[in-house]
Amino acid sequence: MQTKIFGHRMPWLVALVAPIMLLLACGGPKSSSTSGPDGGPVPTNRITMSLIVESSEPGRAVVRANLNDGRSLATSYRLDGGDFLRACISGICRPMADNDSVYTPDYIARFDYQPGVDYVVSFNRQQDRNAPDSRVALPPAFTIVTPANRQQVTDGEIVLVSWSPTGAPARVTLRYDSECSLASGSTNFSTGSLSTDSNADGREAVSIDEIVNFVRSSSASTVTRCSIDVIVRHELPGRVDPAFRNGTATGLVSRKVRLDYLPR
């Protein structure tokens, strides 16, 4: 197994810096109906859609969409002037509500979890072209078999994470979130990717050292304990309506198991 660690993050610093960077980069969201040429609507064929349908708990699914300009530091569009998003599945339709973010508005609707059935999102406009057919299906539900939740782990251990069913043909990846207490009294948070189940056998080995040693390398203080969430993600690609400039659509089912780390 190869582990890729993304890095140490301090929540207060992220909360402080991220909005500032977004504000400096793009000045906050723009109007969908007045930010286009000559103060008119942004043409649909200049808009990029990011669509994710996720089930992170049994029986529930969240449809989340973001419309933006597609640049590397993307500027999001806030829908106004009669523009709106609607999500439907199996004949049940709901308007997608603005999450009220000052910087990157997402539009959200909640449904029951239904695997193998398309969740369809339509972009409806008073002016310019509608985009009625972005869609994605969720993979089947699965259960993490091993390890047991709250299993205690320590230095040098390799933990076998297994799940059933395996998820094939969905793409299966493992990530982690850790929260570690330090002898100094502070807390270290880190997050990262672990591996991809490339052979689709429904199991991957996770090295505890690779997670905890990164925490040690980013702090002068001793680690006294950690809570480590290992997250298994099954992903299927969907399609974005061709009326958009481009975009991505992903159906995601995720489950997690918590490990309690104590040093030797």
- 88: nearest Cα among 50, 57, 56, 53: 53
- Domains in the chain, ordered, with CATH? 4-13+140-261 (no CATH), 23-137 (2.60.40.10)
- 207: nearest Cα among 172, 178, 183: 178
- 66: nearest Cα among 107, 100, 123: 107
In this structure, are residues 241 and 151 in contact, taking their beta carbons and an 8 Å threshold?
Answer: no
Mind listing the pLDDT tens digit for each residue in 168-223?
999 999 999 999 999 999 999 999 999 999 999 999 999 999 999 988 988 889 99
Tell me the average pLDDT of the chain: 91
Query: Measured between alpha carbons, how far is 114 from 121 in angstroms, rounded to an integer?
Result: 15
pTM: 0.86
pLDDT at 103: 86
Query: Measured between alpha carbons, how far is 195 from 224 in angstroms, rounded to an integer?
Result: 26
Mind listing the pLDDT tens digit for each residue in 55-91?
999 999 999 999 999 999 999 999 999 999 999 999 9
pLDDT at 226: 98
pLDDT at 138: 98
pLDDT at 28: 85
Using CB atoms within 10 Å of the CB of residue 91, give its burial: 0 to 12 exposed, 13 to 18 middle, 19+ buried. Answer: exposed
In this structure, are residues 50 and 237 in contact, taking their beta carbons and an 8 Å threshold?
Answer: no
